[in-house]
Amino acid sequence: MDPEGPLRKDGRIFTRDKGDGKPVYGENLLEHDGFIYREWIPWRSKLGALFKKREDVPGLYGNILYLGAAQGTTVSHISDLLDDGIIYAVEFSPVAFRKLVAIAKNRKNIVPILADAFHPERYRAMVPVVDIIYQDVSQKDQVGMFAKNATMFLKKGGSGFLMLKARSVDVTARPEDIFNIASKELKKEGFEVEAVEDLSPFQVDHAAILVTLP
Ligand SMILES: C[S@@+](CC[C@H](N)C(=O)[O-])C[C@H]1O[C@@H](n2cnc3c(N)ncnc32)[C@H](O)[C@@H]1O
């Protein structure tokens, strides 16, 4: 893990670029101490929103299974922060995947995987046991997907970041109720829920549920 985490400057956050020094998704660049940093925009990334809201985000280290990588916006910032380890980035939309592959070409620590994360057995041969699972998919059964992947890949003592979109689970229910139900389901699946952080105003109706596997 980068011991410094993201750089915090004038109320904004940045990661030190490990790519080709160009913006990945239109973000601003900053030169600082002889390095190029990329601004992490909290309206574009739930993990960016979490870092904006909390100073004590659990460390990102080791091997990471990332479910719902899309075009690689958040993946690129995790790639900047990782000292060692690999991000196994799963995405099932071929259009988003093409952009993800282009980003991975400029970096040494991203393995893009075109697959449906509801079927972890299909990428079992490509992914080792991991230290962290990060999930951000707008789907109905987000806890089910997370638990399935954790059973197959997450090591004991590992941690999870479940970015939950309340409206994908139930458009009619109050987001706080959805977050509570999801936390209870995660406990039933054997996880310890360490924190539930509402990501508004950056990501409305979304929460980050942080868990560990005892
Ligand atoms: C909200 S976007 C992710 C944004 C991304 N995590 C970021 O911050 O840069 C959700 C992504 O999950 C993907 N997705 C949804 N269901 C999936 C599934 N079953 N397997 C793999 N990817 C899935 C969608 O195609 C979409 O790209």
- For the stretch 20-73, pLDDT in tens is 999 999 999 999 999 999 999 999 999 999 999 999 999 999 999 999 999 999
pLDDT value of residue 4: 61
Output the CA 167–ligand 1 centroid distance in Å: 15
pLDDT value of residue 168: 80
121/116 Cα distance (integer angstroms): 10
Is residue 39 lining ligand 1, measured as CB closer than 6 Å? no
pLDDT value of residue 60: 93
Q: Which residues of the chain have pLDDT under 50?
A: 1-3
Is residue 139 lining ligand 1, measured as CB closer than 6 Å? yes
pLDDT value of residue 10: 95
pLDDT value of residue 171: 83
Residue (of 186, 86, 90) closest to 137 by Cα position = 90
Output the CA 137–ligand 1 centroid distance in Å: 4
Q: How far is CA 109 from CA 88, 89, 103, in A?
A: 9, 10, 11
> 156-172 burial, b if ≥16 CB within 10 A, otherwise e?
eebbbbbbbbbebbeee
pLDDT value of residue 2: 42
pTM (two decimals): 0.96
The residue whose CA is least distant from atom 13 of ligand 1 is 68
Specify the pairing of strand 206-212 against strand 7-9: unpaired
Mutate to test the pocket of ligand 1, among 67, 75, 91 (most ligand atoms within 8 A of CB): 91
Is residue 90 lining ligand 1, measured as CB closer than 6 Å? yes
Is residue 68 lining ligand 1, measured as CB closer than 6 Å? yes
pLDDT value of residue 1: 40
Is residue 118 lining ligand 1, measured as CB closer than 6 Å? yes
Output the CA 34–ligand 1 centroid distance in Å: 34
CATH superfamily of 41-212: Vaccinia Virus protein VP39 (3.40.50.150)
Is residue 96 lining ligand 1, measured as CB closer than 6 Å? yes
pLDDT value of residue 21: 95
Is residue 92 lining ligand 1, measured as CB closer than 6 Å? yes
Numbers of helices and strands, H then E, in the chain: 6, 11
Output the CA 33–ligand 1 centroid distance in Å: 35
